[in-house]
């Protein structure tokens, strides 16, 4: 994340995580990711997270 921030080529990063993977969700939330609200119809059991720089 730090390297991406330094490059200044991106204003955010998105990841898709299984809704049931509580440990992964906690890690991403600690890193500043939040639910983007986007729902991928191909991955209904996942949540899309976004971290803006």
DSSP string, 5-39: HHHTS-SEEEEEEETT-HHHHHHHHHTT-EE----
pLDDT tens for the chain, 53 residues long, are 888 888 889 899 999 999 999 999 999 999 999 999 999 999 999 999 999 98
Question: Strand, helix or coil at 18?
Answer: strand
């Amino acid at each position: 994340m730090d390297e991406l921030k330094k490059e200044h080529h991106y204003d955010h990063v998105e990841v898709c995580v299984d809704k049931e993977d509580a440990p992964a969700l906690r890690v991403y939330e600690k890193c500043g990711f939040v639910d983007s609200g986007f729902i991928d119809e191909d991955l209904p059991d996942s949540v899309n997270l976004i971290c803006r720089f």
